[in-house]
Amino acid sequence: MTWTSDELMTVNAARALAGARTCFVGIGLPSAAANLARRTTEPGLVLIYESGTLGSKPSRLPLSIGDGELADTADAVVSVPEIFNYWLQAGRIDVGFLGAAQVDRFANVNTTVVDRGPGRPEGRLPGAGGAPEIAASCGKVLLVLRHSTRNLVRRLDFVTTVGHGDGPGSRARLGLPGAGPVAVITDLGIMRPDPETAELTLTDVHPGTTPEQAVAATGWPLAVAPGLRVTEPPTETELTALRRLAQGAPDA
Amino acid sequence: MTWTSDELMTVNAARALAGARTCFVGIGLPSAAANLARRTTEPGLVLIYESGTLGSKPSRLPLSIGDGELADTADAVVSVPEIFNYWLQAGRIDVGFLGAAQVDRFANVNTTVVDRGPGRPEGRLPGAGGAPEIAASCGKVLLVLRHSTRNLVRRLDFVTTVGHGDGPGSRARLGLPGAGPVAVITDLGIMRPDPETAELTLTDVHPGTTPEQAVAATGWPLAVAPGLRVTEPPTETELTALRRLAQGAPDA
Amino acid sequence: MAEIRSLRDAVAGLVHSGDTVAMEGFTHLIPFAAAHEMIRQRVSDLTLVRMTPDVIYDQLIGMGAARKLVFSWGGNPGVGSLHRFRDAVENGWPRPLELDEHSHAGMANRYVAGASRLPFAVLRGYRGSDLPSRSGTISTVVCPFTGEELAAVAAINPDVTVIHAQRADRDGNVQLWGLVGVQKEAALAASRVLVTVEEIVDDLTPAPGAVVLPSWTVDAVAVAPNGAHPSYAAGYTVRDNGFYQSWDAVSRDRDAFLRWMDENVLEGAR
Amino acid sequence: MAEIRSLRDAVAGLVHSGDTVAMEGFTHLIPFAAAHEMIRQRVSDLTLVRMTPDVIYDQLIGMGAARKLVFSWGGNPGVGSLHRFRDAVENGWPRPLELDEHSHAGMANRYVAGASRLPFAVLRGYRGSDLPSRSGTISTVVCPFTGEELAAVAAINPDVTVIHAQRADRDGNVQLWGLVGVQKEAALAASRVLVTVEEIVDDLTPAPGAVVLPSWTVDAVAVAPNGAHPSYAAGYTVRDNGFYQSWDAVSRDRDAFLRWMDENVLEGAR
């Protein structure tokens, strides 16, 4: 079978959920990955959406986090204040899964505004949504986005959501209870925070990608981890499940 | 028809709800009065119980505020935190209807402890329940209790719930949004705060009661309002409705 | 007590230019019909409040009805940008748009404080984020028991909240179910409440997961079948995902947008 | 994930002497069967937390299981006093009972803070009351936006919360309905959660007004039919008002109380 680079990214993002029991699912790519995980390696994975659903089991990828099927298939539906206060903030969720517009070397995230240079107005992004508190309160955080120097930047134009702040110890100083980002999955490979410096380093490339490609597509001098791995190619099971999920929701 | 002094009290307490749209109903005597009002003069009266029921329409007097019929007949049932935060505290309720163990001349209420004198332990009352915030947040407050020097005292042993504090302006200084107690209905008559002094004065006696009886049964020098009225005797409709309500719930 | 009124009368009576208006519905039950009526009645200078502005506010903003937006996530869910929102923020077209920007957790708690008539709410939020630097409604409080510093957000108390629900009874009691979002809080936080419904029924039979707003908390109920389209009302309609996708092209271009509004929304007023 | 266990094993595994234990249920769904099992297992030195101590805590207190009570209204609803509670407070029998006393609004918000894992909650409460003078868990905070001073109450986070529910499925997902009280908050505030249920079913069909606690928030589910008696489980049993009335006489006298407990509760352990 052949696959697209987005499929590679999603399959690897789903694999990163191995061992998770509960996942707070961001809109877009994270939803595809979390649903794929539930269809493959983690059938018991409890999907939690900020629209208020606990334990959604959609058969197709929802276009939005408020699609009816998320509520219809959930173990429980609660109000939006409740999902944020009793469930997310309370630290009950193992993994927060987020997309991002800009990510820096410490896995901080900008989804608010981009600087377009002098004399030009700031470019508007959608905004924070649930991300600041998802990244603060979940046991750990996964990020998924396409790999480019536009997305992976030396310096964020705005810090919407804290990953590892300005390095080791930042999260503790800020009082952020969760462990923060543990992996950034892209269409080229996987970056993980270095255990010493908390800086994102390239730990895996996908089949057919070279580390040089990933370094060139990163806005800071991306370190390559010793013992760089190549991810396993998507299996037929994974691809079939992903394509079945995607049917009828072309842009999810 | 003949009637008991408790029936006199309850009938007059129900009449005091004339014009109210919504009533936060305390346990015991207030519940009997509020239900009687809904059966007689105020059929549209919305009864709200701290157990979380909005718009209960029980056919019998509930023994407790958590009887099943209160929920079964309600327009909506909400959680206990919600009833206190979104409904009571928000100032949505016209009338708060409370019982009391001790009441002073400014209609402050003690339901916590009584002083039994030197060398003896404090006597224990049930405690605050919803009363402090009911009396703070409802548009106005009605109190109902039996008339005796034990209940209507010169000085409270403990202030559980503020009525008019230490007199005019007290509620504003404390930041209590509602108007506070407007009537104390007893088995002997009705006391209302004097418009100038906020002190409870006898404005009505029940048929067959003299003002002297009420004064003698009050722990402070009870002023008798000029133009003291005699309450209308219970009507047959009122008594029949009350007795029908009471059937099957002997102690409500 | 809620009056049952035509949508035109209800909007005319309850929504005024200059108001702070919350129109809630988290993807589900978005009150599009009421927004279109507001556009037809040329209500203007609004402070619009909504966690997810969505296409409904893209339309109001693009028509110049808003001077300020209070929100937490301004995208076209699953599709991309809200182009009218971006054009207003980036280029001031058709008029500048002031922003008060929060996280979802912050906005949800602002409504909770509003519904509880507290001046603020406390949450563990915004830590390390630049968001507080751009908002006057985010601050901090210190726990008097532990000394911990927490985020505080100012209550939202709209002049009017507009929501869509599945149904109401003839007394104006309102019932909604499915994803109930933050609608109860938004309604209870407001001075005035307008609810559009799919239908009026004799009796509100209890439904799993249903929220009931008693008639005495609502000012007007207006019947607006399919009034959430392209959003949906669980049990009545389904989300028109195709519309959301097609909105991207319509809204990208100012003229195409105005033409679409003229043909699909203003038309109704003539 | 919740394990389905016998009541005896569940209590032995989850409730330990010295624990802070919340057993909630606002008149409805009071977990009497679990309390009786705790009495049989001689769990002691408990800090008991409950808005309305009710007969369930009168029994635990009278048997000497508690060293402290955190509460807001300690009467026998519709009947009168809780005599064992009074005897413990007034006379220290069978042992002194420390009190932390609140209003209902304060207690409800303490659970909300606990469930939200915030250290405190804010309310407009206690103004002018003497209650704060006797409690270390009532304080004040100042709104950073308006300067208004409001009451603050410390979060409650029990070691274990015990509730009774109508039913659970075989995976341990729990469903309760009717007066749902503060049980969700009490459960989500606790480190450990024990739920007794009327029955285990194959599927939790949605029910109007139902609260669902997912299996992964519960430690153990134990079947205890009629386990709320003399309280009730809507849809299964009715409140035994006669029992509540007869409790007045039983509990007035120390010996009568001990005899009753011996015959009706301890007997079960032999």
How far apart are the CA of A83 and the nearest CA of chain D, in angstroms?
A: 10
Q: Which residues between 186 and 225 in chain C have a beta carbon less than 8 angstroms from any beta carbon of chain A?
A: 209
Residues of A with CB below 8 A from D118's CB?
A: 89
* D187-197: pLDDT as tens digits: 999 999 999 99
Residue with tokens 């869910």: C77
Could you tell me what percent of chain C has a pLDDT over 90?
Answer: 98
How far apart are the CA of D184 and the nearest CA of chain B, in angstroms?
A: 9
pLDDT bucket at A28, cuts 50 / 70 / 90: confident
CB-CB: which of B21, B86, B90 is closest to C216?
Answer: B21
- Any idea of the CA torsion for C109, C111, C116, C117, to the nearest 10 degrees? 110
Per the CB < 8 Å rule, is A84 touching C108? yes
- How much is the ipTM here? 0.97
- The domain defined by D3-102+157-269 carries CATH number 3.40.1080.10: yes
The three state secondary structure string of A74-116 is CCEECCHHHHHHHHHCCCCCCEEEECCCEECCCCCEECCEECC
Q: What would the two tokens of residue D101 be?
A: 């006393």
**Residue ranges of domains in chain C:** 3-102+157-269, 104-154
Whether residue B216 lies inside any domain: the answer is: yes
Instruction: Look at residue C270 and tell me whether its pLDDT is greater than 60.
Output: no
pLDDT value for B27 = 76
> Which of B30, D175, D132, C112 lies closest to A86, judged by CA?
C112
pLDDT bucket at D248, cuts 50 / 70 / 90: very high
- The whole-angstrom separation of Cα C245 and Cα B239 is 67
Amino acid (1-letter code) at residue A59: S
pLDDT value for A252 = 35
Instruction: Look at residue D270 and tell me whether its pLDDT is greater than 80.
Output: no
pLDDT value for D269 = 52
Note whether B179 contacts C: Cβ–Cβ < 8 A: no
pLDDT bucket at A231, cuts 50 / 70 / 90: very high
Whether residue B251 lies inside any domain: the answer is: no
pLDDT value for A248 = 52
Residues of C with CB below 8 A from B133's CB?
A: none
pLDDT value for A63 = 83
Residue with tokens 């209003």: D103
pLDDT value for B248 = 53
Whether residue B135 lies inside any domain: the answer is: yes
- Chain D nearest-CA residue for A82: D116
Contact predicate D157/D114, CB 8 Å: yes
Note whether A56 contacts C: Cβ–Cβ < 8 A: no
CB-CB: which of C148, C154, C208 is closest to D207?
Answer: C208
Whether residue A187 lies inside any domain: the answer is: yes
* C14-51: pLDDT as tens digits: 999 999 999 999 999 999 999 999 999 999 999 999 99
Long-range contacts of B238-244 (CB under 8 A, 24+ apart): B238/B11, B238/B14, B238/B36, B238/B40, B239/B1, B239/B3, B239/B7, B239/B11, B241/B36, B241/B39, B241/B40, B242/B7, B242/B10, B242/B11, B242/B14, B242/B32, B242/B36, B242/B39, B244/B39
Whether residue A252 lies inside any domain: the answer is: no
CA neighbours closer than 13 Å in the CB half-sphere of residue D100: 20
> Which of C189, C163, C188, C156 lies closest to C177, judged by CA?
C163
- The whole-angstrom separation of Cα D121 and Cα C144 is 10
Please count the structural domains in chain B: 1
Supply the mean pLDDT for chain C.
97
Q: Which residues between 234 and 263 in chain C have a beta carbon less than 8 angstroms from any beta carbon of chain A?
A: 234, 238-239, 241, 244-245
Q: Which residues between 230 and 249 in chain B have a beta carbon less than 8 angstroms from any beta carbon of chain D?
A: 249
Contact predicate D37/D9, CB 8 Å: no
pLDDT value for D179 = 96
Per the CB < 8 Å rule, is D207 touching C210? no
Q: What is the pLDDT averaged over residues C123-136? A: 97
Long-range contacts of A245-250 (CB under 8 A, 24+ apart): A245/A32, A245/A35, A245/A36, A245/A39, A245/A59, A245/A60, A245/A61, A246/A32, A246/A60, A246/A61, A247/A60, A248/A60, A249/A60, A249/A61, A249/A62, A249/A63, A249/C78, A249/C241, A250/C245
* Ramachandran sector of residue C261 (left: φ over 0; alpha: ψ -120 to 50; beta: rest): alpha
Looking up residue A175, the CATH number of its domain turns out to be 3.40.1080.10
pLDDT under 50: residue ranges of chain B: 249-252
* A100-116: pLDDT as tens digits: 999 999 999 999 999 99
**What range defines the domain where residue B41 resides?**
5-246
Choosing from B42, B50, B133, B199, the catalytic residue is: B50
- The whole-angstrom separation of Cα D178 and Cα B77 is 7
Note whether A71 contacts D: Cβ–Cβ < 8 A: no
Instruction: Look at residue D1 and tell me whether its pLDDT is greater than 90.
Output: no
pLDDT value for A67 = 84
How far apart are the CA of B83 and the nearest CA of chain C, in angstroms?
A: 10
Helix (H) or strand (E) holding D268: none
What does D108-134 look like in DSSP terms, one character per residue? HHHHHHHHHT-SEEEES--TT-SGGGG
Note whether A51 contacts C: Cβ–Cβ < 8 A: yes
Q: What is the pLDDT averaged over residues A124-128? A: 97
Could you tell me what percent of chain A has a pLDDT over 70?
Answer: 98
Whether residue A83 lies inside any domain: the answer is: yes
- The whole-angstrom separation of Cα C143 and Cα A111 is 30
Which of A75, A87, A133 is best to mutate for the D interface (most D CBs within 10 A)?
Answer: A75
Buried b (16+ CB within 10 A) or exposed e, A32-50: bbbbbbbbbbbeebbbbbb
Burial of D226 from C-beta contacts in 10 A (0-12 / 13-18 / 19+): middle
Instruction: Look at residue C268 and tell me whether its pLDDT is greater than 90.
Output: no
Contact predicate C22/C195, CB 8 Å: no
Q: Which residues between 141 and 160 in chain B have a beta carbon less than 8 angstroms from any beta carbon of chain D?
A: 158-160
Note whether D90 contacts B: Cβ–Cβ < 8 A: yes
Per the CB < 8 Å rule, is D216 touching A89? no
Residues of C with CB below 8 A from A74's CB?
A: none
Per the CB < 8 Å rule, is D131 touching B79? no
A149 SS3 class: coil
> Which of C129, B47, C5 lies closest to A156, judged by CA?
C129
Contact predicate C89/C97, CB 8 Å: yes
Whether residue B116 lies inside any domain: the answer is: yes
Helix (H) or strand (E) holding C193: strand C192-201
pLDDT value for C269 = 52
CB-CB: which of B51, B64, B129 is closest to D78?
Answer: B64
pLDDT value for C81 = 96
Instruction: Look at residue C75 and tell me whether its pLDDT is greater than 50.
Output: yes
Q: Number of residue pairs across B and C with CB atoms under 8 Å?
A: 31
Which of A24, A47, A86 is best to mutate for the D interface (most D CBs within 10 A)?
Answer: A86
Residues of D with CB below 8 A from A92's CB?
A: 188, 217
Residues of C with CB below 8 A from D141's CB?
A: 141-142, 144
Interchain contact B/A (3 or more Cβ pairs less than 8 Å): no
How far apart are the CA of C6 and the nearest CA of chain D, in angstroms?
A: 30
* A161-216: pLDDT as tens digits: 999 999 999 999 999 999 999 999 999 999 999 999 999 999 999 999 999 999 99
